[in-house]
Every structure is written in structure tokens, then in C-alpha cells.
Amino acid sequence: MPTTQKPRLPFEVWALVAGGFAVALGYGVVAPAIPQFALEFGVSNFAASAIVSAFALMRLVSAPVAGWVVSKLGERRTYTIGILAVAVSTGAAAFAMNYSQFVILRGAGGVGSAMFTVAATALLAKVSPNNARGKVASLNAAGFLLGGLLGPVLGGVVAIFGLRAPFVFYFFTLVVAAAVVAVSLRGSQAAARPSPQGLSVAAGEAHSELSFGAALRIKQYRVLLLSTFAFGWASFGVRISLIPILVATVFGGDATAAAWVLAAYAAGNAALIFPSGRWNDSVGRKPMLIVGMAVLAVSYVAVPVAPSLWLLAAVMLVSGAGSALANPGQQAVLADVLARRRGGGVVAGYSMASDLGGVLGPAIAGAVVDIGGLGPAFVLTAALLAVAAIAWTFVADSRSFDPTEPSELR
């Protein structure tokens, strides 16, 4: 009887997953120390939190440049340059003598972060096998998730040596990530610098360039930008900024209680991240995206009416599961749109949509909280997620379409 062979994943995938884990582990160590270190310079709480915004803002504005660099230098060089830029700026931040130096160095880190993120996403999209794009996306997400879970635990140990120690630790994890990816990808033609004609050859296959303008003609890509914006708004913005406030103001919980509630989200994500990858490849991207976004929308409506911390944690567990269903599908759709072509600008647009949501979400939702309370802010977030879920119902599943065909460019 014939047997169905599982697709063998390219070595580039494993190299980038390992690099992503190292990055997330180091960031999990340094993230809690960033605002606390800023306060050491005698600035306000707003100025301390603005350090995080400076990093995100520079990621956002430099993403188009990162896409251009990928098209000129290739994914391997762009990744290495970007991650070393974050390493150097982070290491230097450990020796910052005043707040201004700290802001500038974190901003420089944001530029480097955009470069290696766009390069990694572009390469993953390019080398993912057609029938395993969901699996690759879930593996990549799992690497970051595991690093993000272990990082804060390790950070408690590193912080014993002072607030500057986490920055030094993150410097070394970034250097390790850069070395792993640079060495692993040195034989990869897919990650190499493009030829003057804009083509590279990997496994006998030519990789042409898909421009951002051409990608915008594809309906699935336009909906993807809306979806990633909503996902960034909710998961990278509102969840992190408002859940701790809700825990403190409604339930009188401290930072530890907020951490446990957010950990429930991570647990729900971890439980479904691998099955989601399989389902995206077998059932399709569209059903997973619709269900995932709908679950997220319902969970955000339920957050402000949760009567206890335990039930709030349960809601966040469900929310994490919804995130796991939706997130791999978004990266898989990006890979479907690119169809193994280069597309630095296309990936940059995808990255910018997520970052823009992460930047605007906390700011706008925070303003809504000041005007009408926490409830309307979460309802607004749920409405945005619901719009994204509805938008996916109006496009064909990208798993089986060919975006190089004129009939698919709608």
C-alpha cells in the first residue's frame, strides 16, 4: 500500500527557529528590566514606558528600508546585520549614562529588529514547502513562545546581578543567534544575495521578485494586512497594556497576579500551536483564521465582565487558543502569496501592519479607557477582530490558489 510521506523541512527552517528561540529567550530576560532601568535615571513613569514605544516605533518606520535591504543583500546578510545591530545597541545600553542615551540605543535596536524580522519572515515564507507552510509557521511561533516563557524565569536569576545584567545577557544571546543563523545559512542559495537580474537559484528553482504593489492586487494579501493589524492591536498591544491594569484596578491584584493571568494566555497558545499548524495545512488557512479571530473577539468581549481572577485567567486561556489558531495561518497566507518568490517589500508591509497595530492599540485603547472605562476599550478591540474574521469569509482559501495567475489577482 502506498504511504504518505511527511514533507521534509528545509534546514533553513530549523536554523531560523533556533535563532528565534535564542532571541525570544534573551528578550524575555531583558523586557522586565527595560522600564525599571529607565526609572533609574529619575524620569517619569510615562518616560520609562516610552522606551518600549521608541523601539516599536523604529521597527515600524524602518520596515520598508529592511524590505529594500533584503531585496539587495539577501536574507542571510540582512538577518546577520540586523541581529548584530540589536546586539551592539543592547550591549551598549547596559552602559548608558543617561536617559537620552538609553532612548537612542533602544531606537537603534528597533531598526536592527526590523531588519532581522523581515529577513527571517521572508526566508521562511520562501523555503516553506507548499504542503507544510502551516507547520513551518507553528514551529516558528513555538520557538518564540518557548523562549518567551523561559526568558522571564531566567531573568529573575540574571536580575540578581543588577539591572544592567539582563542587557549583557541579551547581548550574548543575540550574538549566539546571529552565529547560528549565519553559519547554518552560509550554504543556502535561497538566503543568498540576489543576482543583478533579481534572481536566485535554490534547488534548481528560480526565485523572482514580487513587488508590494503587485501584492496589493491580491485580495488575500489585502485582507492579511487587515488581519495582522487587528492581531497586533489585540495580542501585542492591548493584551499586554490593559490586562495588568484590569487586574490591578478591578481585582486589586499585583504584578504577580497579572503575570499569572498572562501566563494562562501563553498556556492556551502552547496547547494548540502545533495542531494549528497541521490543521492549516490539512483543513485550510481560511477556516482556521475565521475561527481563531472569532474566538479572540469573543474572549476580548468576555474579559471586562469576568467576575473573578480565576475566570479571567480562563478567558485568557481561551484567548491564547484563538491566537494559536489564527497566527500560523497568517504567516502561511503570506507564504502562499509570495509563492516562493522574493518579496522584501511584501514582507515589510506584513510586518508593518502588525507593528502599527501594536503601537496604536495601547494608545487608542488607553484613551478609550480614560473616556469610558475598560469595558469599551476591550469591546473596541473585539470589534476590530470580528471585522478581520468577517473579511476572511469573503476571500478564497490561499492554500490552493496560484497568485501568479491573473485570475487570482482580484
Whole-Å CA distances, 173 to 78, 86, 116, 168, 383: 18, 11, 14, 9, 39
The proportion of the chain whose per-residue pLDDT surpasses 90, expressed as a percent, equals: 38
Q: In the CATH scheme, what architecture does the domain 210-410 have?
A: Up-down Bundle (1.20)
Confidence category of residue 207, pLDDT binned at 50, 70, 90:
low
- Give the HSE-up count for residue 280: Cα atoms under 13 Å, Cβ half-sphere: 33
Confidence category of residue 75, pLDDT binned at 50, 70, 90:
confident
The residue ranking higher by pLDDT, 301 or 2, is 301
Residue 339's region, left for phi above 0, alpha for psi from -120 to 50, else beta, is: left
* pLDDT recorded at residue 53: 73
Domains 1-207 and 210-410 share a fold: yes
> Longest Cα pair distance anywhere in the chain, in angstroms?
72
Using the predicted structure, report yes or no on whether residue 114 has a pLDDT greater than 50: yes
Confidence category of residue 169, pLDDT binned at 50, 70, 90:
very high
* pLDDT recorded at residue 268: 92
Enumerate the domain spans of the chain: 1-207, 210-410
Averaged pLDDT for residues 334-346: 85
* pLDDT recorded at residue 341: 79
**What kind of fold does domain 1-207 have according to CATH?**
Growth Hormone; Chain: A; (1.20.1250)
* pLDDT recorded at residue 302: 95
The residue ranking higher by pLDDT, 110 or 53, is 110
* pLDDT recorded at residue 287: 95
Confidence category of residue 241, pLDDT binned at 50, 70, 90:
confident
- C-alpha cell, 252: 486589586
The residue ranking higher by pLDDT, 388 or 26, is 388
The residue ranking higher by pLDDT, 193 or 288, is 288
Confidence category of residue 152, pLDDT binned at 50, 70, 90:
confident
> pLDDT tens digit string along 357-382?
888 888 888 888 888 888 998 999 99
Cα-Cα-Cα-Cα dihedral sign, residues 142, 62, 215, 339: negative
SS (H, E, C) the chain: CCCCCCCCCCHHHHHHHHHHHHHHHHHHHHCCHHHHHHHCCCCCHHHHHHHHHHHHHHHHHHHHHHHHHHHHHCHHHHHHHHHHHHHHHHHHHCCCCCHHHHHHHHHHHHHHHHHHHHHHHHHHHHHCCHHHHHHHHHHHHHHHHHHHHHHHHHHHHHHHHCCCHHHHHHHHHHHHHHHHHHHHCCCCCCCCCCCCCCCEEECCEEECECCHHHHHCCHHHHHHHHHHHHHHHHHHHHHHHHHHHHHHHHHCCCHHHHHHHHHHHHHHHHHHHHHHHHHHHHCCHHHHHHHHHHHHHHHHHHHHHCCCHHHHHHHHHHHHHHHHHHHHHHHHHHHHHHCCCECHHHHHHHHHHHHHHHHHHHHHHHHHHHHHCHHHHHHHHHHHHHHHHHHHHCCCCCCCCCCCCHHHCC
- Can you tell me the distance from the alpha carbon of 400 to that of 131, in angstroms, rounded to the nearest whole number? 10
> Whole-number mean pLDDT of the chain?
84
Using the predicted structure, report yes or no on whether residue 5 has a pLDDT greater than 60: no
- pTM, rounded to two decimals: 0.82
